[in-house]
């Protein structure tokens, strides 16, 4: 296979057991190069276990996992050179200056001394911490420390980023800033795997997602695909002038409609399947003497999809 066609991450039958407990159960997952991939699941679903295996910190009980074609067990050193792993909680040396901290990790990755200063300045600019280069780490806010952790992950210019809850504990502004940085990293060609519970932000951030529960993969594919797959039927909203009851009776009589209910003064219309053309709605209402005023499609959010397809079960 041409190197450019090798997936960024591929797992086949990936399983991890802790005694009698199965944390990962036959996980088959493919993540393409350049993806900003959302890994979704409740606490204890197996997300962190998967990322730790990909980062070579855990060995699988069975099955295989590869990063850019390198096996995480047999080629662990090669994997470590192409990944950047940011755990959900990571330690920092709080008495060090920002540049000292990054210079230390640059030395760990054997970046030449003459090159390290430029590398440190580049990653600080990328994560928006250039003005804090001389600050003591312990004096930084939680959001800035998270950005510093991301800068550390980027110091050796990895091709694949494994980010476990990178926005955990951040305030809304800091979360938005973190997501903007991740979008920029994707534009620079990085493959990013991000586990998170902030589903509304993953919905707008990621091009593909996977949903995992009790160690088993429920869905993997485009964000829109999971909405389509998990939606029981196409949903539209209708507004009319005056009372909604006559309109609801007219709509319920249509064979293409499985349900029509009033919600906060608007009518929620659920079709029998996703292939129905909704253009008949205005004509049906007008012909029945109802003054039609509005029609729009319901957007099934990623958070609602997640609640529909999972039960909140953990190991």
Of 287 and 226, more confident:
287
Other Cβ atoms closer than 10 A to 64:
14
pLDDT digits (tens, 9 = 90+) for 144-172: 999 999 999 999 999 999 999 888 778 88
Q: What is the pLDDT of residue 43?
A: 80
The yes-or-no verdict on residue 105 having pLDDT over 70 is yes
Looking at residues 62-89, what average pLDDT do you find? 95
Strand, coil or helix: 195? strand
How many Å apart are CA 295 and CA 236, to the nearest integer? 7
Q: What is the pLDDT of residue 313?
A: 47
Q: What is the pLDDT of residue 230?
A: 61
Q: What is the pLDDT of residue 232?
A: 55
The yes-or-no verdict on residue 301 having pLDDT over 70 is no
How many Å apart are CA 217 and CA 46, to the nearest integer? 10
Looking at residues 100-112, what average pLDDT do you find? 94
pTM: 0.78
Band (pLDDT 50/70/90 cuts) for residue 93 is confident
Q: Which two tokens stand for residue 184?
A: 């920029």
Q: What is the pLDDT of residue 162?
A: 97
Q: What is the pLDDT of residue 167?
A: 84
Other Cβ atoms closer than 10 A to 288:
14
Round the average pLDDT of the chain to a whole number and report it: 88
For the residues of 42-81, what is the DSSP string, one character each? -TTSSHHHHHHHHTTSS--SEEEEEETTEETTTTHHHHHH
Beta strands in the chain (DSSP E): 9-18, 21-31, 36-40, 62-67, 70-71, 83-86, 160-164, 191-195, 208-213, 216-222, 235-240, 257-263, 266-271, 292-297
The yes-or-no verdict on residue 7 having pLDDT over 90 is yes
pLDDT digits (tens, 9 = 90+) for 23-33: 999 999 999 99
The domains found in the chain, sorted by start residue, are 3-224 (3.40.50.300), 232-299 (3.30.70.100)
The yes-or-no verdict on residue 74 having pLDDT over 80 is yes
The yes-or-no verdict on residue 214 having pLDDT over 80 is yes
Q: What is the pLDDT of residue 272?
A: 84
**Among 8-17, 220-229, 251-260, which is the least confidently predicted range?**
220-229
The yes-or-no verdict on residue 200 having pLDDT over 80 is no
Band (pLDDT 50/70/90 cuts) for residue 315 is very low
């Amino acid at each position: 296979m041409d190197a450019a066609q090798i997936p960024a991450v591929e797992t086949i039958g990936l399983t991890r057991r802790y005694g009698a407990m199965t944390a990962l159960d036959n996980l088959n997952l493919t993540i393409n190069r350049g993806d900003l991939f959302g890994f979704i699941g409740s606490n204890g679903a197996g997300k962190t276990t998967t990322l730790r295996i990909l980062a070579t910190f855990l060995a699988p009980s069975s099955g295989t996992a590869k990063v850019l074609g390198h096996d995480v067990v047999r080629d662990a050193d090669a994997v470590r050179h192409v990944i950047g792993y940011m755990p959900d909680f990571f330690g920092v040396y709080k008495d060090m200056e920002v540049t000292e901290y990054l210079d230390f990790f640059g030395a760990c990755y054997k970046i030449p001394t003459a090159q390290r200063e430029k590398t440190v300045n580049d990653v600080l600019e990328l994560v928006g911490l250039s003005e804090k280069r001389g600050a003591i780490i312990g004096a930084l806010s939680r959001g800035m420390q998270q950005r510093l952790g991301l800068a550390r992950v980027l110091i050796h210019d990895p091709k694949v980023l494994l980010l476990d809850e990178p926005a955990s504990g951040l305030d809304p502004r800091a979360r938005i800033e973190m997501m903007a940085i991740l979008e920029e990293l994707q534009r620079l060609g990085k493959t990013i795997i991000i586990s998170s519970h902030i589903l509304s932000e993953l919905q707008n951030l990621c091009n593909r997602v996977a949903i995992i529960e009790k160690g088993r993969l429920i869905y993997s594919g485009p964000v829109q695909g999971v909405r389509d797959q998990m939606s029981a039927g196409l949903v539209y909203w209708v507004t009319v002038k005056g009372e909604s009851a006559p309109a609801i009776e007219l709509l319920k009589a249509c064979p293409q409609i499985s349900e029509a209910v009033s919600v906060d003064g608007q009518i929620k219309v659920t079709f029998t399947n996703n292939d129905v053309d909704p253009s008949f709605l205005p004509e049906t209402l007008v012909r029945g003497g109802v003054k039609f005023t509005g029609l729009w499609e319901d957007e099934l959010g990623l958070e609602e999809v997640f609640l529909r397809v999972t039960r909140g079960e953990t190991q």
